[in-house]
Structure 1
Amino acid sequence: MSRRPTPALAVAALLAMTVAGCSSGAAPAVRGIPTPPPKATTPAPRVPAGNAPTETFAVGVRQLKLNRDGDRPLPVTLWYPARGAAGGTPERSAPAATGRFPVVMFSHGLGARPEDYQLLLSRWAAAGFVVAAPRFPHTGTGSDGNVLDVLNQPADVSYALTQVLALDTKADDPLRGRLDEERVAAAGHSAGGVTTIGLFTAGRDERLDAGIVFAGTALGVGTAFAGAAAPQLFVHGEADEVVDYAAGKAVYDAVPWPKAMLSLPKGDHGRALLADGRALRVVADTTVEFLRWTLYGDAKAKDRLPADATRGNLATLDDHL
């Protein structure tokens, strides 16, 4: 049975009960001897141990037309492992490769569109992931640019995720039997990073097993991370001219789960995500290993992650995974 989204009010109530329970469960102090603080524990990811595919796949791409509540059009671009020779450009509506693949929901930045990130997202698909990227109605290219609508986007992503996962059982759909609904992550850049953080805080979607935040901030969505442990990878340029590096680091510091932060000393707000180059290769390889570990349960991928992150001395990794 698939995991369902947790409504914001339920999350708030759960947090209130958790705080009350912690405050009433402390051990009594002995006079003259301070009570030691409870020992912190790092929760383990909930995806069982396994192995990620060792092959590189060809990549297919297709469009899915969605609309939430009739007034929020959400066209979704899907990149997925496909049959054929690996290494080429994504092929429109190519036959899907054999297997069941984890799903990654990707949220674009303000004034952007999913296709802008194809270089990165197609590399995820080639590694064995189905990537679904909605184009948001008020923050995408050519929209009214209403930045406040970012606060509605976590619900958009949850809705789109439900519709994407439904393809696994939809008769005659090319992705029928190819989606693993128990292995799901969310990722996003800039305003999409805010959206992604929101999916683990006020708009917690319990189906999500992991998150990747590129140049994100908690503005509007907060840092009250809730629900089951979901490892997080933050990627941020130290020379970011839009979202200050310290703002992203502050959110990262608030994450209570296994986490890591990939910092690019010369990185800006994310242009490395859009054009091929050394920085994109480091980011792509690091995020692929993170997804292999969190969604396939591949321990060897976790072991490789630090070396990929620091290759070429382009980035540093704060590793608490």
Structure 2
Amino acid sequence: MKKFYQLLTFGALSTVLVACGADEDAGDEETADENGEETDAADDEEPSELVVGATNVPHAEILEFADDLLAEEGIDLEIETFNDYALPNQALDNEDVDANFFQHRPFLADQLEEFEEYDIVEVSGVHIEPIGVYSQDYDSLDELPEEATILMSDSVADHGRVLTMFEEEGLIELAEGEGVEATIDDIEENPQNFQFEPEYEAAILPQAYENNEGDAVLINSNFAIDHGLSPLEDSIESESADADNPYVNIIAVNSEDEDDEDVATLVDVLQSDEVHDFMEEEYEGAVVPVEE
């Protein structure tokens, strides 16, 4: 019996000690959680995913640079690339992407007029890509011969900016007040009878230039850069990239996401000094950041 009571007492004491140890361990775990020193609680929070549709150059490249900066803000960026101007807004309307980054303001305005079902809004401007004139045979617009063929994209939103360049050089005259809204039909005087041909998809214009099609080819900077052309060194003329240029490339979303926190963070990162410095150093004036 004496041995039995001794065993019983020892067993009870062991139980108490184990229980106390468990309480102490629990206390230690709670302290660790509070101090954040021995727990991964902060790391357990899943980053939010943001899917952005973009054309390859420079938009996707800019987003790729911003990827690490967004990760620091708890955003896992996924980039969907497109090589067509029509598809990114379709993808946004279908909610296949959360935002897109490829178009300028006049292009979005035209898209909203053409596709009334779109409920897409601009969140912020990011940069300007001056459009350039390229020629294999001539070094300036003044050298273009009579009846020169001028190849342009079929994006009507770009026609005004192209025609304005020619008007500023005194080569054509547009209807009064048209400016960047001008179309081919608004040319009132064309003394050299230039043949403007706006039937080309923007993405294939660099190939038309390389094949020496036309006397001059108007190429958007993103497609020029993507084909190894320097808008500053290879073009014979380039539009201005000052603050008054209306062709600012924008971040766009469906209206219901206009105030989304992740989208706001994306804008903040793209407006940061780090991203602006990247654009200036990487593209040397072919892509000009804007502050808004």
TM-score where L is the length of structure 2: 0.25
TM-score (norm 1): 0.23
Decide which structure has greater helix share. Answer: 2
Q: Greater RCO between the two (CA within 8 Å, min separation 6)?
A: 2
